[in-house]
Amino acid sequence: MSNNNFFVDYFKAIDRKVQSVDLKLLDYSSRLIKNTQKNGSKVIVVGNGGSAAIASHVSIDLTKTDNIRTINFNEASLLTCFSNDYGYEHWVEKAIEFYADPNDLVILISSSGQSKNIINGALKSKEMKLPLITLSGFMKNNPLREIGDINLWVDSDHYNVVETVHQTWLLSIVDFLIKNKPTMEEL
């Protein structure tokens, strides 16, 4: 296979995965985020590794461009403190317990859908009755996908494909919210 064929096939695969989403789920996710803002609540976005980078990007964009209070837990001191004190598999649930308020929206990202810390964070979100959006990939019946109110899943077992699609879906929601901001007359 030539290099050109690899890239052509790779980009086609990404395009197919991006297009595979149920658009109703993106619309519902957008409405959940907007309702969170209207309620005076915040959005919490969490992931590991590349998914943590996506969480940072999305949280900054929602805050800056959409004026939606959004946080992530990518502060090294917080992560290492909670991991040390509660165990790595529990740091997300403890962060949600400490930082989430009633009616906050939680978005959890795990490429495999099997990250124990993210699953425990999802279970804590449900226990606290917080709306929950999950993003995962790999196995269709992964544990994270079973927990959320909205579950966006990528049918791929390649990390970079899954993460690229997750970021594309989330940033499409950000751009949708920007495009549909109410005008001064509508406020």
Quote the number of domains for the chain. 1
- The answer to whether position 187 is within a domain reads no
- The answer to whether position 91 is within a domain reads yes
Cα-only R_g, the chain: 17
CATH code of residue 172: 3.40.50.10490
End-to-end CA distance of the chain: 56
- The answer to whether position 64 is within a domain reads yes
- The answer to whether position 137 is within a domain reads yes
Torsion angles phi and psi, residue 90, rounded to 5: -115, 0
Q: What is the pLDDT of residues 80-128, one digit of tens each?
A: 999 999 999 999 999 999 999 999 999 999 999 999 999 999 999 999 9
- The answer to whether position 48 is within a domain reads yes
- The answer to whether position 186 is within a domain reads no
pLDDT by residue for the chain (187 residues), tens digit each? 567 899 999 999 999 999 999 999 999 999 999 999 999 999 999 999 999 999 999 999 999 999 999 999 999 999 999 999 999 999 999 999 999 999 999 999 999 999 999 999 999 999 999 999 999 999 999 999 999 999 999 999 999 999 999 999 999 999 999 998 765 445 4
- Checking DSSP bridges between strand 70-72 and strand 43-47, what pairing results, if any? parallel
- The answer to whether position 133 is within a domain reads yes
Domain of 26 in residue numbering reads as: 3-179
Instruction: Please tell me the predicted confidence (pLDDT) of residue 45.
Output: 98
Give this prediction's pTM. Answer: 0.95
- The answer to whether position 175 is within a domain reads yes
- The answer to whether the beta carbons of residues 112 and 99 sit under 8 Å apart is no
Length of the chain: 187
The tokens describing 111, both together, are 């490429």
Instruction: Please tell me the predicted confidence (pLDDT) of residue 40.
Output: 96
